[in-house]
Structure 1
Amino acid sequence: MLEQIVLDQKAGKAEYDEKVEDFERRLGELQRQARELQVPIVIVFEGWDAAGKGTLINRLMQALDPRGFSVYPISAPTEEESRRPFLWRFWTKTPERGRIAIFDRSWYGRVLTERVDELIPRKSWQASYEQIRSFERQLADDGAVLIKFFLHISKKEQKQRFLDLEANPSMSWKVTRQDWRHHRQYEKYTRAIEDMLAQTDTAFAPWTIVESHDRRFATLKVFATTIRVLEERVTGAQSTKEPQHRTDNRPAEEFPTTSLLETVDVSRTLSRPSYERKLDNYQARVRELEHQIYLLRIPVVVVYEGWDAAGKGGNIKRLTKGMDPRGYEVIPVGAPNDVEKSHHYLWRFWNRLPKTGHITVFDRSWYGRVLVERVEQFCSAEEWKRAYREINEMEEHLVSFGAVLVKFWLQIDEQEQLKRFKEREATDWKQWKITPDDWRNRDKWRLYKPAVEEMLARTSTSYAPWTIVESNCKLYARIKALQTVIKSIEARLEAR
């Protein structure tokens, strides 16, 4: 692919001066329109060392309102970043709706520098192609515009630019030993770049190769491409009315209609003496495992979902009682705030993932997208149907990074829920637990049940299976959850 690129293309000074002013004005207009339409924009600059990424980014920025964009220079991951899945540091930098994020290098370092310099195993960088495609597709499906540039220069041109920089006392610091080593690896990098372009040039996030021997030509091409893409997106957004969130609780597609929840034996019980004995033993074991995963730097994610009053809070309290509080965090998840709403719905969960050696417990989670947001019509049918794939992709990324992922659905029947609701109303110190929303959600049990069934069917995978916890008996449910967490962590330790 790269050998077919004609690198000696040029733009004369007169042509450049004539076009660039109009380009700047138009780009400023498009930025304002994108802000009004709440369109998030991601612009990626990749390319050879000394190809001019910094110069072109700076030139592009001059046409933009600085209050509406952020520039992220990306280098090797820090200690903190390396202790999370590789896409974590990029998810946290994705722009809110109406803003622009410009990346000076990006997630593609995974399949370029980390591949060529053999910083990660072959299996890891090969798996990263699909993870990158999933990441970009999720952003695009959520309305983001992705513009990706690769700045191309020849090996001969790169060498000359290095020499010119070294000859300039004020610029020589820009050329490092690593730059020269990468220059000697030009052919290896070419193969990696060819693979990257082939694997990640998609309809929703296409690559634009910028012939960068001539600065003026490269600048005009970057401006013209950015303007063209934004014009297409802005025009499309203006002609499309905001979709109405109509009631649509039908399955995303046909799947077995046998009710899994109907087969759950919620009558299972455990005696108080047996509970107390097992509780002490299991909590001690959890504390031991917390220490082991800290030493081995294994992250653990525990997700609790379930019916209102199913006992999630009490269950979590027993799970964490024996833990060192410095090694875990419990995240209670409610309705998203305004900042969270301005991002992809998964953004707020990526921000709270644990680093290696730590445990995060989610009291409700990203599954709200296919439960409450589906039933209450807070998102469109297209959005919640798409979420099954997006959730599976995120969880696969976590597990492939080495995380232990445990997911609980706490199941009670309607009669038990009603009993607990009435008990909360009748008990002074429990009344804060019951709200009008709880009663309203109970009235929608028949709508929530098929949503739960479909969630379990579509997101219980080999790498992230659901565990249904029979929870009419709180004692039984707590012990089963503890047993499951212990078993999952022990299995991960044995697999090392």
Structure 2
Amino acid sequence: MLEKIDLKKKLTKAEYDLRMEELVPKLGRLQRECQKYKIPVMIAFEGYGASGKGVQIGELIQGLDPRGFQVYAVKNETEEERMHPFLWRFWTKMPPKGRIAIYDSSWYRKVLIDRFDGKTSEKEVENSFRSIRSFEEQLTADGMVMIKIFLAIDKKEQKKRLEKLLDSKETAWRVSEGDLKRNRHFQEYRAMNEEMLLRTDTAHAPWHIVEATDRRFATVKIYSIVVKTLEQKIREVARKKAEDAEGSGSVAMTEEQPAEDLILKESVLSKADLSLSYTKEEYKEKLSKLQKKLEKLHGELYRYRIPVVLGFEGWDAGGKGGAIKRLTQRMDPRGYVVHPTASPNDIERAHHYLWRFWTDMPKAGHVTIFDRTWYGRVMVERIEGFCTRQEWQRAYREINDMEKDLTEAGAVVLKFWMQIDKEEQARRFQARQENPEKQWKITDEDWRNREKWDQYEEAVNEMLIRTSSPYAPWIVVEGNCKYYARIKVLETVVEAVEKKLEEKKQEKKRQEEKKGRK
């Protein structure tokens, strides 16, 4: 691909001035239109060292209002970033709706410079390509404009530019030993770039290769790419907005299935044996042992830098809070955090629905517990009509991909569904209403949700089937007896953590043996 590019393309100053006179103000107008229609934009610059990424970003932002964009220079990972999945630092640098983020190098560093330098294993390369494709697909499906620009120059031109930079004290610092090494092994590094372009060039996030030998030509082409892409997106959004306005008189309906169809649905929840229970004495004995064990394991998690993600879902009054309290009772509070998930606020609604969960994921060695999770997308948002059918249907794959990213980064991921029956829920609601200390726990909305029990049950069954995986399993917790439920949660967490620690210890042992043989 890259060897076929004509790198001799040029523009005269007169041609450049004429084109930019039209393109610069047009880009400014389009930025304002993106703000009006709340369209988020990500522009990623990749290319060879000294190909002019910094220069071209500087040219591009001349046409933009500085209040509406942010530029990120992506270099080596910080210590904080290394302790998260590699895409975490890009989820946390994501523009809200209506703003533009520009990246000087991007999420592709993992499969380019880091790969060339041997920091990324071949297994990690495969996983990273999968993660990147999923990342871009999720964002663009949610309305993000993804513009990826690759600046191409040849080995001779790169060497000339690097030498020119080295000749001046003011610019020599910009040339690293890595830049010089990649120039010496230009063919090898170009092959990695070729592979990256081929494997990540998609309809929703295509690559734009820019011939960058001539600065003026590259600037005009980049402006033209950005302008054309934004114009197309704005037309799509404006057309959809007009269509929605025409149909605004219709009432959004939540989905309902005929009774005979419900019988044919696979049911996970119906298999739960809600008669399971412990006596108070059994509960106290088991609770003490498990909490002591978990207290010790929590320290081990920190030593081996293993992150843990625990998600709790379930019926209202299903026992989530009680289970979480017993789970954390003996844990070091410096090493865990509990996130109660409420309806998204304005800032959260301005981002992809997974953004707020990505930003709260634990770093290596820490535990994060979510009291309600990203699965709201396929339950409450689905049932209450807060998202479209297309949005919640694609969410199953998006969620599976996110959890895959977490586990490939070394995390333990467990998801608990706290299961009770409708009669037990009614008893707990009534008890809360009669207890002044617990009345805050019960709302009119809780009672209203009971009227949609069958719809929620169907959605939960589909969720459990479609998103339970070997790497991030769902655990249905029989919760009519609170004692039984709390113990099952603790036992499950202890077992999963012990298993992960054993894997880590064996891995460390193998590495030490391998090192010893050398």
Q: TM class, shorter-chain normalised?
A: over 0.9
| Equivalent-residue separation in structure 1 for 2:21 and 2:344 (angstroms) | 42
TM value normalised by structure 1 = 0.98
8 A contact 1:270–1:476 mirrored in 2: yes
Could you list the per-position Cα deviations for residues 193-249 of structure 1 after superposition, in whole angstroms to 9, with x for gaps in the alignment? 011001000000000111000000000000001111111111111111375754235
| Equivalent-residue separation in structure 2 for 1:387 and 1:394 (angstroms) | 10
| Equivalent-residue separation in structure 1 for 2:347 and 2:88 (angstroms) | 18
Structure 2 spans left out of the alignment, 5+ residues: 505-518
8 A contact 1:34–1:234 mirrored in 2: yes
1:301 aligns with 2:317: no
Could you list the per-position Cα deviations for residues 422-445 of structure 1 after superposition, in whole angstroms to 9, with x for gaps in the alignment? 000001111111111111111211
Partner of 2:43: 43
Q: Which one of 242, 247, 250 corresponds to residue 254 of structure 2? A: 247
8 A contact 2:348–2:356 mirrored in 1: yes
1:185 aligns with 2:185: yes
Structure 1 spans left out of the alignment, 5+ residues: none
Structure 1 residue 353 displacement after superposition: 0.2
8 A contact 1:42–1:145 mirrored in 2: yes
Could you list the per-position Cα deviations for residues 249-297 of structure 1 after superposition, in whole angstroms to 9, with x for gaps in the alignment? 569x999713221121111110111110110000001111111110000
* Cα distance, 1:246–1:146 mapped onto 2, change above 3 Å: farther
* Cα distance, 1:255–1:460 mapped onto 2, change above 3 Å: farther
Structure 1 residue 412 displacement after superposition: 0.1
2:254 maps to amino acid: T
Partner of 1:32: 32
Once the two structures are superposed, the pairs formed by residues 235-274 of structure 1 within 5 Å of their partners are: 235-241=235-241, 245-248=252-255, 257-274=265-282
Partner of 1:326: 334
Partner of 1:405: 413
1:285 maps to amino acid: K
8 A contact 1:249–1:375 mirrored in 2: no
| Equivalent-residue separation in structure 1 for 2:267 and 2:74 (angstroms) | 48
Structure 1 residue 464 displacement after superposition: 1.1
Partner of 2:230: 230
| Secondary structure, counterpart of 2:415 in structure 1 | strand
| Equivalent-residue separation in structure 2 for 1:307 and 1:427 (angstroms) | 20
8 A contact 1:249–1:374 mirrored in 2: no
Q: Which one of 418, 425, 443 corresponds to residue 417 of structure 1? A: 425
1:476 aligns with 2:477: no
| Equivalent-residue separation in structure 2 for 1:248 and 1:191 (angstroms) | 50
| Secondary structure, counterpart of 1:303 in structure 2 | strand
| Equivalent-residue separation in structure 1 for 2:141 and 2:312 (angstroms) | 27
Could you list the per-position Cα deviations for residues 131-186 of structure 1 after superposition, in whole angstroms to 9, with x for gaps in the alignment? 10000000000001100000011110011011111223322222222221221121
| Secondary structure, counterpart of 1:72 in structure 2 | strand
8 A contact 2:8–2:213 mirrored in 1: yes
| Secondary structure, counterpart of 2:339 in structure 1 | strand
Aligned-residue identity in percent: 52
Once the two structures are superposed, the pairs formed by residues 38-437 of structure 1 within 5 Å of their partners are: 38-241=38-241, 245-248=252-255, 257-437=265-445
| Secondary structure, counterpart of 2:139 in structure 1 | helix
Structure 1 residue 394 displacement after superposition: 0.3
| Equivalent-residue separation in structure 1 for 2:275 and 2:135 (angstroms) | 42
| Secondary structure, counterpart of 2:476 in structure 1 | strand
Structure 1 residue 417 displacement after superposition: 0.2
8 A contact 2:377–2:392 mirrored in 1: yes
Partner of 1:494: 502
Structure 1 residue 393 displacement after superposition: 0.5
1:248 maps to amino acid: E
Structure 1 residue 355 displacement after superposition: 0.2
| Equivalent-residue separation in structure 2 for 1:421 and 1:491 (angstroms) | 38
* Cα distance, 1:174–1:309 mapped onto 2, change above 3 Å: same
| Secondary structure, counterpart of 2:233 in structure 1 | helix
TM value normalised by structure 2 = 0.94
2:333 maps to amino acid: P
Partner of 1:15: 15
| Equivalent-residue separation in structure 1 for 2:173 and 2:77 (angstroms) | 21
* Cα distance, 1:493–1:20 mapped onto 2, change above 3 Å: same
1:424 maps to amino acid: R
The number of equivalent residue pairs is 495
Could you list the per-position Cα deviations for residues 91-143 of structure 1 after superposition, in whole angstroms to 9, with x for gaps in the alignment? 11111111001000000001001111111211001211111000000000000
Q: Which one of 438, 446, 456 corresponds to residue 448 of structure 1? A: 456
1:23 maps to amino acid: L
2:481 maps to amino acid: C
| Secondary structure, counterpart of 2:438 in structure 1 | helix
* Cα distance, 1:255–1:368 mapped onto 2, change above 3 Å: farther
Structure 1 residue 371 displacement after superposition: 0.7
1:273 maps to amino acid: E
| Secondary structure, counterpart of 1:428 in structure 2 | coil
Could you list the per-position Cα deviations for residues 415-466 of structure 1 after superposition, in whole angstroms to 9, with x for gaps in the alignment? 0000000000001111111111111111211221111111111101121111
8 A contact 1:312–1:363 mirrored in 2: yes
* Cα distance, 1:256–1:159 mapped onto 2, change above 3 Å: farther
8 A contact 1:248–1:381 mirrored in 2: no
* Cα distance, 1:76–1:256 mapped onto 2, change above 3 Å: farther
